[in-house]
A and B are shown apart, each in its own frame.
Chain A
Amino acid sequence: MIVENFKNLGASAIASSVRAGDASPSDMIRASFQRAREIGAGPDGLNIFLHSDESASMEEADEMKKRLESSPDVGVLAGVPVAIKDNIASLGLPTTCASRILAGYVSPFEATAITRLRANGALIVAKTNMDEFAMGSSTENSAYGPTRNPHDVRCVPGGSSGGSAAAVAAGITPIALGSETGGSVRQPAAFCGVVGVKPTYGRVSRYGLVAFASSLDQIGVLGRTVEDAALGLETIAGFDKLDSTSSDAKVPIYRLSALGGPAPETRSPDTEAIRLGRSPVPLAPSPGATTLRGVIIGKPKEYFPDSLDASTKDLCERAFDRFRSLGATIRNISLPRSPLAIPVYYILAPAEASSNLARFDGVRYGLRVDPGKGLKAMYEATRSQGFGPEVTRRVLLGTYVLSAGYYDAYYKKAQAVRTLITDDFRSVFASGVHAIFTPTTPTPAFQVGAISDPYEMYLNDIFTVTANLAGVPAMSVPIGRVRRLPVGGQIITAHFDEFTMFRVAYALEAALGAEAHQ
């Protein structure tokens, strides 16, 4: 029963079944790979997986079974299959960032986020497709071909974490890791009808996340439900001495199921988790998913322009009605500098990328193309053949805005406007607003190949990129469908207030019920 119903099961249900002995970890691995085959996750189908090894995953499951036999307390994710975006360093499976320049590269170390998942019982089943080096909004920029949206194969799944979002949407894994620099978890979550969380900058260790734009990058979680996303974030969040920008702020329990009573799962006393500094503390229980009394939700006018897709706007209005019926107060607010976020982001992110991607030079790892004409020719041949068109474009853009004569006009200016954008958020939250609600994207998923102009593609990030610039947490939750395609609503809260963000998300999910997917 557990195995037959696998695609609909949440992570908590899987872990409970495994701990209770109703299903084995290997049952879950078999079910995950079976579902991947059914849905066509391979390169000839949806092209979700870049790397997977069923026999290695089965060996991991067998190890988990031995751990279970000695103690049922193997963690909150006991036996839960998880998919990982291919820019997060893993042992065993390659880490290529969907780029030719890292073809076949297997990391010698593991990202802290993966170590924490495994320490809590998760089983890694695959590395997922993405836009090359996370540069894109559609997963069309992968060197290994585009991923398709499970809801409509003619459409993109969003990006850059498109493979991870599609894996969750297709029922292959209940949880997947993605990464965000400008919306790369929330936008594909919206396009694929799943939940996507970008935590506060510093909440989750970036150790092992291949750097794109270091002042913006964060690892995020995709889940089928708010509960699964909360469980995933709880597991990977917290201080890590291996990331100098990691915060030592306490990590609350985000799961509603674990609040207001004894937690149903006992956290693993795994020494590795202790070494990594995890110290979750439960906050006071929330009043539950059925009320938002006393909560003030901001509706920023800049995120509801006249040009917004009418159906998307209608679904947002329905969500606001639900918030009101739950007792929340809706307040009209302004984030006046948000319209400047796309120009700011597309100066700062390429500038940081041009520096971070200098390490791919054919010397220490990855591809080397040597035409036999010396060192400089080797660099140029390696990088021009290893990087795809969008990565090349952004490296050049970043080099330009950092070069002599343009630094002040572009880079320094963008850094100052970033301060103003962040100030807007601080002012709104200081005025008493608890959460902000907006559409996640201007439109539902578009068709593969429909957008060829680079700047038009960049505009997909228009509602998500501000949270990255300001460093605040944000998540996308399904709020309905337009022409069969999912639409996401975005909840943004103050720095390190993921607790309130999840509280609002739980309430909306419960209030919409099946309407969230209709």
Chain B
Amino acid sequence: MAVTRQDVLHIAELARLGVDNARADELTKELSAILAHMEVLSQIDTAGVPTTAGVGAEGTPLRPDVGERPVMERTLESFAPAMRDGFFIVPRLATHEDPAESGA
């Protein structure tokens, strides 16, 4: 099933990837071509076949459901783009900055 330009722009938004017009056209062709090779799977009868989400290594033991803090040799501040008082700093939501969008 062919991917449309609208599909590409939609999934790019879901994936939080900025895609310009020229790249959207390329990706439409590329993704359609790749997915065309996947169509062969629709011919396979999988009625009653369980799905495999992971290969479930034998002997994988359960552990008590108690989290442990990982040992960190460097502080979060040493690699986070922006931190203050132990919190990650992010830009404001656009709706808080743009009165038109927020309906204010």
Q: Name A's B-contacting residues (CB within 8 A).
A: 91, 105-106, 108-110, 200-203, 214-215, 239, 241-242, 244-249, 340, 342-344, 346-347, 354, 358, 361-368, 370, 372-381, 383-384, 387, 392-393, 395-397, 399-400, 403, 409-410, 412-420, 422, 453-455, 458, 469-471, 495-496
**Cβ-neighbour of B51 out of A110, A364, A373, A416 (below 8 A):** A416
Interface centre among B1, B10, B34, B96 (most CB of A within 10 A): B34
Residues of the B chain whose Cβ atoms lie less than 8 Å from the Cβ of A393:
27, 30-31
Given contacts A239-B61, A419-B50, A455-B33, contact A215 B55 (CB under 8 A): yes
Q: Can you name 18 A-B residue pairings with CB atoms under 8 Å? A: A91-B73, A108-B79, A109-B71, A201-B55, A247-B59, A340-B40, A343-B38, A363-B80, A375-B92, A375-B94, A378-B90, A378-B91, A392-B27, A396-B27, A400-B11, A403-B10, A413-B46, A495-B57
Interface centre among A91, A383, A397 (most CB of B within 10 A): A397
Given contacts A365-B79, A420-B44, contact A109 B30 (CB under 8 A): no
The interface size of chain B toward A, counting residues with CB under 8 Å, comes to 62
Given contacts A340-B41, A363-B90, contact A379 B16 (CB under 8 A): yes
CA gap between A249 and B61 in the complex, in Å: 10
**Cβ-neighbour of B91 out of A201, A340, A374, A410 (below 8 A):** A374
Q: Name B's A-contacting residues (CB within 8 A).
A: 1, 3, 7-8, 10-12, 14-19, 27, 30-31, 33-35, 37-38, 40-42, 44, 46, 49-61, 63, 70-76, 78-82, 88, 90-98
Residues of the A chain whose Cβ atoms lie less than 8 Å from the Cβ of B73:
91, 108-110
From residue A383, how far is it (CB to closest CB) to chain B in Å? Answer: 5
Contact A247 B58 (CB under 8 A): yes
From residue A83, how far is it (CB to closest CB) to chain B in Å? Answer: 22
Contact A248 B61 (CB under 8 A): yes
From residue A488, how far is it (CB to closest CB) to chain B in Å? Answer: 23
CA gap between A364 and B33 in the complex, in Å: 35
Contact A384 B11 (CB under 8 A): no
Contact A376 B16 (CB under 8 A): yes
From residue A357, how far is it (CB to closest CB) to chain B in Å? Answer: 9
17 additional A-B pairs beyond A249-B57, A409-B42, beta carbons within 8 Å, are A108-B76, A109-B71, A247-B57, A340-B41, A346-B37, A354-B15, A365-B80, A367-B81, A376-B94, A387-B17, A396-B12, A399-B14, A399-B15, A400-B11, A409-B1, A414-B41, A471-B56
Contact B11 A403 (CB under 8 A): yes
Residues of the B chain whose Cβ atoms lie less than 8 Å from the Cβ of A469:
55
Contact B60 A247 (CB under 8 A): yes
**Cβ-neighbour of B17 out of A91, A363, A395 (below 8 A):** A395
CA gap between A366 and B81 in the complex, in Å: 7
From residue A255, how far is it (CB to closest CB) to chain B in Å? Answer: 22
From residue A342, how far is it (CB to closest CB) to chain B in Å? Answer: 7
Residues of the B chain whose Cβ atoms lie less than 8 Å from the Cβ of A246:
57, 60
Contact A215 B33 (CB under 8 A): no
CA gap between A150 and B97 in the complex, in Å: 55
Contact A395 B57 (CB under 8 A): no
Residues of the B chain whose Cβ atoms lie less than 8 Å from the Cβ of A470:
55
B51's nearest neighbour on chain A, judged by CB, is: A415
From residue B23, how far is it (CB to closest CB) to chain A in Å? Answer: 8
Contact B60 A202 (CB under 8 A): yes
From residue A388, how far is it (CB to closest CB) to chain B in Å? Answer: 12
Residues of the B chain whose Cβ atoms lie less than 8 Å from the Cβ of A396:
8, 11-12, 15, 17, 27, 31
CA gap between A399 and B10 in the complex, in Å: 10
